[in-house]
Amino acid sequence: AQTVTQSQPEMSVQEAETVTLSCTYDTSESDYYLFWYKQPPSRQMILVIRQEAYKQQNATENRFSVNFQKAAKSFSLKISDSQLGDAAMYFCAYRDMNRDDKIIFGKGTRLHILP
């Protein structure tokens, strides 16, 4: 069965600095999607970035980028120029391309932004 591991339960970063959140996953599939979701105190789940496994190029969305290492099964999220509004819980998620379409989430990393 697929698993997603986020090894950092909490992290802190100084405002305007760069921080990297780690995520590893285990799968025997070759085609799949990976996601990072943000959950602020409002509890709403917000998609941050998405990566297709068949694409070698790392996805980027403004200050957010990923380092996707398919062979190592690693999918880290880099946040540049951290802002106070980035403080949230971040979840890494995996979705395979089998018919059942289940999405598996990691346990999350709580990110604190220090002013």
Partner 1 sequence: NAGVTQTPKFQVLKTGQSMTLQCAQDMNHEYMSWYRQDPGMGLRLIHYSVGAGITDQGEVPNGYNVSRSTTEDFPLRLLSAAPSQTSVYFCASSYVERTEQFFGPGTRLTVL
| Residue (10 or 81) nearer to partner 1, CB | 10
Regarding 114 and contact with partner 1 (CB under 8 A), the answer is no
- Three-state SS string across 43-96, please? CCCEEEEEEECCCCCCCEECCEEEEEECCCCEEEEEECCCCHHHCEEEEEEEEE
Beta strands 3-5 and 109-114 are unpaired
Site for partner 1 (CB under 8 A): how many residues? 23
- Choose which of 30, 44, 60, 69 interacts with partner 1 (CB under 8 A): 44
Regarding 107 and contact with partner 1 (CB under 8 A), the answer is yes
Enumerate binding residues for partner 1 (CB under 8 A). Answer: 6, 9, 32-33, 35, 43-45, 47, 50, 91, 95, 97, 99-108
